[in-house]
Chains A and B, each alone.
Chain A
Amino acid sequence: MRISPLKSRLAAAGASFAGRCGVEICAKCAEIETEYRFVRDAAAVTDFSFMQTYRIPEAAAIDFLDTLLAGNVAKVRFGRMLHTFLADSNGFLVADCYVANNDDEFLLVCESLADDASMNEILQRHGAKDAGIEDLSQSHAVIGIDGYKAWAVVKELFGADVLGLPYLSIEKYPFESGTVRLVRAGKTSEFGYLLIVPNELAVPLYEKAAALAAAQGGGRIGVEVHNTLRLEGRFFNIFAEGAAVKDPLVLGLQWMIDFDKEAFDGRDAILDRRAKGVAEKIIGVRAGGGAEDFAPGAVLYDGAAQVGRIVASCYSHVLGARLGLALFPRDIAYAGLSFHLGKSDGAVVQTISMPPIMPKSLTVKLDEI
């Protein structure tokens, strides 16, 4: 199992750990609601080193990545990023990916259902050796800075220039004796940044970021609370609804696909399912009190008929309600309807429009700071 270079520091701070797809993750650093408030009200630092990161020299990158991923890598401009996915030959999800065009290199940053060895096998099958791909997962840590005031933390770390970075962009910054690749790409609805840093600089950068986050009223958080933050913002979560459903068309990820591309892993299967029409779809659901069984796997009823199934859930501290995503037949997969949880007269579950929250970050204008 791959272990984060931040492990000993996090363990000393009282964090708890868990395994996920062959990699150890820092699950929690504090109570979930405390961590949640850090992000929604201040700034939080997360160890995202479970992500798989690869560097591909510019010369071979476009050909290599374009035949691998569903999105159009050739359209990624210098300094910008593409959010797309990697599928298997059956067109089912393997990894949620960012591709960044960064100077003389492209970066592939993955949240994957496959372990490191399986990912390497997929990449080798596509000619990773000839493309000169370098696996940074072992040599670099990934640190996330998210929150309403995350911008203040990265500004202190790297200077005011950071505030001008648009969403889905990448830039390199010096830190101590090395270089940090900064990616602006959060999945919490608040400001978000990923710092890809060499292992030898990971601890000092993490500690400095954590201290700056604490100065904003925030602190360290684990990976677990991100399940809630993503669901509230309706950001795709491959470890929740992605793992439960796996079909990108049912999950509504068509926006990550370039259907005109001639080749990418799983293309034929995806196009075939698209042509036949998708029978099911996931939509947002919300429950009030008395819905204790509101959890993945729970069945939703319309009268006596079983019509839906919950695939992801969380408790929203902002809304004071349980939120989820549920799989329904396409003809009834609409916001504004009521169903019952677990039995025909169970607790009422309403289908809702997503995202259901208004993040405070939307009120901040970074170009006016």
Chain B
Amino acid sequence: MTPEAQEYIARRVSVINTFKDELIRRLNLPYTPDDLHEDVSLLGAGLGLDSLDALEIVLCVENCFGVKIPDENTSVLRSINTIVDFVLEQTARKEAA
């Protein structure tokens, strides 16, 4: 792994861990962070969360990372990884501005 790749992994892991901890706490999920694969589907299939849970996830992302998921951007909520991508992208944009 190059130093850049290692730095990227560290950044990604930090967002993943924060999000998983908060998701488990807020939704009272019966899993440890290691149990939650980052590609698991959040709504419908997979974890089977509902629309109220989706609202909780949006608030969770806003509180944890200062990033707002637009109402029309439901595709972000497909998996933990798609949320993490969105957070990293928005954070990088903020830093560049």
Interface residues of A (CB under 8 A from B): 83, 167-168, 187, 234-235, 252, 254-255, 258-260, 274, 277-278, 281, 283-284, 302, 331-332, 334-338, 353-355, 358, 362
Contact = CB atoms under 8 A, between A and B. Distances in A.
A353 B37 contact: no
16 contacts: A167-B44, A168-B45, A168-B48, A234-B79, A255-B48, A259-B31, A274-B35, A283-B38, A284-B39, A335-B12, A335-B38, A353-B39, A353-B81, A353-B84, A355-B78, A355-B79
Nearest to B12: A334
A321 to B, nearest CB: 17
Contact of A254 (B1, B5, B31, B85): B31
B82 interface: yes
B2 to A, nearest CB: 9
A362 B75 contact: yes
B47 to A, nearest CB: 5
Contact of A278 (B31, B34, B79): B34
Contact of A235 (B35, B38, B45, B78): B45
Contact of A167 (B35, B45, B47): B45
A349 to B, nearest CB: 14
B45 to A, nearest CB: 7
A interface, by DSSP: helix, strand, loop or mixed?
Answer: loop
Interface string B80-97: 011011000000000000
B72 to A, nearest CB: 11
B27 interface: no
A167 B40 CA distance: 16
Given A234-B39, A254-B35, A278-B34, 10 more contacts: A167-B45, A252-B37, A255-B35, A255-B48, A259-B31, A281-B37, A283-B39, A334-B9, A337-B9, A358-B75
B75 to A, nearest CB: 5
B81 A337 contact: no
A230 to B, nearest CB: 11
Contacts of B44: 167
A336 B82 contact: no
Contacts of A83: 45
Interface string B12-47: 110000000000000000110011111111001111
Nearest to A277: B34
Nearest to A253: B37
Given A167-B44, A234-B79, A254 B9 contact: no
Nearest to A83: B45
B87 to A, nearest CB: 12
A255 B46 contact: yes
A252 to B, nearest CB: 3
For the complex of A and B, the 9 pairs showing the least CB-CB separation, nearest first, are: A252-B37, A353-B81, A254-B35, A354-B39, A167-B44, A353-B85, A358-B75, A334-B12, A335-B81
Nearest to B16: A334
Given A255-B40, A281-B37, A362 B74 contact: yes
Contacts of A335: 12, 38, 81, 84-85
Contacts of B46: 255
Nearest to A354: B39
Nearest to A256: B46
Contacts of B45: 83, 167-168, 187, 235
A334 B78 CA distance: 17
Contacts of B35: 254-255, 259, 274
Contact of B47 (A234, A255, A258, A260): A255
Nearest to B78: A355
Given A234-B41, A254-B35, A281-B37, A354 B12 contact: no
Contacts of B41: 234, 355
A275 B13 CA distance: 21
Contacts of B9: 331-332, 334, 337
A344 to B, nearest CB: 14
Contacts of A331: 9
Contacts of A283: 38-39
Nearest to A251: B37
